[in-house]
Amino acid sequence: MSEASVTAVEGNPPQVKRGEGVAYVYEILRNEIIELKLAPGSPIDETDLSQRFSMSRTPIREALVRLAAEGLISTLTNRTTIVSNIDFLQLGSFFDALTLMYRVTARLAAGNHSEADVAAIRAHQANFSRAVDERDVLAMIATNRDFHIAVAVAGRNKYYTDLFRRLLDEGRRILRLYYHSYDDNLPRQYVVEHEDMIAALIARDVEESDRLAVAHADQIVRQIRSYISADSRSASSLTL
């Protein structure tokens, strides 16, 4: 019923102290959900978690409430709570919002960024580039997300940054689902596109930043779409 690797007691119960317990559990569970270590739809048992983290159920519960508020888990009243499913029917909405956030954050960043922002963005881009060099797909997904968050932060609009972060994390879940078919050419192209975006941003060229953001978003949407259709094609070939 419960997978040993996930449910097992933490090797080093890292002695979190008063007031940090909830944040600790929240961070770990959040990562496990986004990285699909906890499969969508799988049930979450509070008692299990409380044993795993060597804590009472109370802080566990609060962490779960936070995750539920973010939409990462769904709680059925008086019944079990499960990891939220990836809603493929809403994929159109997702792409739409994602593209819009790419655009507005790029535009704002071009207008509002500071020196420090550029340094942060470049650091993340370096990490992303390294991940591509090392063909570390999981690291690519994570560092790519961090790069775009840094751009959003440079845009100085917390409402956009917030939504963008959620969208990008949801994107991480979807990409994890399909990363096995990752194309070797695309990552290189993403590195180049990121560099172009940085250049336009430094030049404070809002319109060019916007154009590049649209192109980048289209590229990513196309990539995910192709993964999904490839996936469904192989499935349908099985049934014939």
* Residue 180 binding target from DNA, a second copy, none, CB below 5 to 8 Å by type: none
- CA gap 108, 201 in Å, rounded: 9
Among the listed residues 26, 34, 52, 59, the single contact to DNA using CB under 7 A: 59
- Map the footprint of a second copy across residues 42-71, applying CB under 8 A: 58, 61-62, 65-66, 69-70
Nearer to DNA, 21 or 155 (CB): 21
Compare residues 56 and 90 and give the one whose CB is closer to DNA: 56
Query: Which does residue 157 touch among a second copy, DNA, none (CB within 5 to 8 A, set by kind)?
Result: a second copy
- Using CA atoms, how far residue 171 sits from 20, 91, 135, 141, in Å, is 28, 10, 19, 9
Closest to 174 measured CA to CA, from 219, 128, 220, 125: 220
CB of 42 to DNA, least distance (A): 12
Query: Of the candidates 6, 16, 91, 100, which one interacts with a second copy according to CB under 8 A?
Result: 100
Per-residue mark of binding to a second copy, 148-187 (x: CB under 8 A): --------xxxxx-xx--xx--------------------
> What stretch of H or E contains 43?
strand 43-44
Q: Is 17 in the site for DNA (CB under 7 A)?
A: yes
Question: Nearest distance from residue 36's CB to DNA, in Å?
Answer: 20
Q: Which of 71, 139, 137, 147 shows the shortest CA–CA distance to 102?
A: 147
Can you spell out the DSSP letters for 189-240?
HHHHHHHHHHHHHHTT-HHHHHHHHHHHHHHHHHHHHHHHHHHHHHHHHHH-
